[in-house]
Amino acid sequence: MANSAFRALAELALSSRETAQGLPAQETSAPRWSGVGFSLLGERFVSSMGHVSELLEVPDSTRMPGVQPWVIGLSNVRGRLLPLFDLSAFLGGTMVTSRKSQRVLVLETEALYSGIVVESSFGMQHFNSEQFNEKIYGLPETVGGFIDGAYKDITGETWPVFSLAKLAEDTKFINAALV
């Protein structure tokens, strides 16, 4: 009896190996780049996840005297004072959306903690790194100095990469006081 049970198990193991399918081939995927998508001046942009520490609804703020018109004001966000800046106005345009749809990209570096108000947010966007192009055409001239190329998504839509790091280094942006 023990012999027949062993033989049955051996036959079952052999049958399983003969009919088993192999493991799926391991596909190598292209490197991916992720960013936060947003609308500005009626165009779609994306900024590096490394530059955006938080995404918020536009909080209440207090106007500050003696600052540029593109400075919205100062807001208290969880006990920290967050200056808010209208990025469209900074770039010479105007917001085309209501406050309800506007969002704040929180830019935090060692030297700067700022809220950049944009028209709307598209959340996280992921791109195949192979779809990156250093050159981009047709954007407003005021935006050009802040663009680090562009990605194409799977639908063929172009997403210019807006560099918040370049914005943080811009002397006009850093010096928001009226002269």
Q: In percent, how much of the chain has pLDDT > 70? A: 96
* Whole-number pLDDT of residue 158: 94
Q: Residue 23 domain-assigned? A: no
pLDDT in tens, 131-158: 999 988 888 888 989 999 999 998 989 9
**Domain that includes residue 126, residue range:** 32-174
Q: Which of 11-15, 40-44, 159-163 has the lowest mean pLDDT?
A: 11-15
* Whole-number pLDDT of residue 92: 92
d(CA 71, CA 49): 24
Span 100-128, mean pLDDT? Answer: 93
Q: Residue 21 domain-assigned? A: no
Record the tokens describing residue 64, joined without a space.
Answer: 């500050």
pLDDT in tens, 21-62: 777 766 666 789 999 999 999 899 999 999 999 999 999 999
Q: Residue 96 domain-assigned? A: yes
Q: Look up the pTM and report it.
A: 0.79
Q: How many domains does the chain have?
A: 1
Q: Residue 44 domain-assigned? A: yes
Q: Residue 138 domain-assigned? A: yes
CA distances from 71 to 45, 118, 128, 159 (A): 21, 13, 35, 26
- Classify the phi-psi angles of 73: left when phi > 0, otherwise alpha if psi is within -120 to 50, otherwise beta: left
Q: Residue 18 domain-assigned? A: no
Q: Residue 162 domain-assigned? A: yes
Which string of DSSP letters, residue by residue, matches 96-114? -S-TTT-EEEEEE-SS-EE
Q: Residue 8 domain-assigned? A: no
CATH of the domain at 132: 2.40.50.180
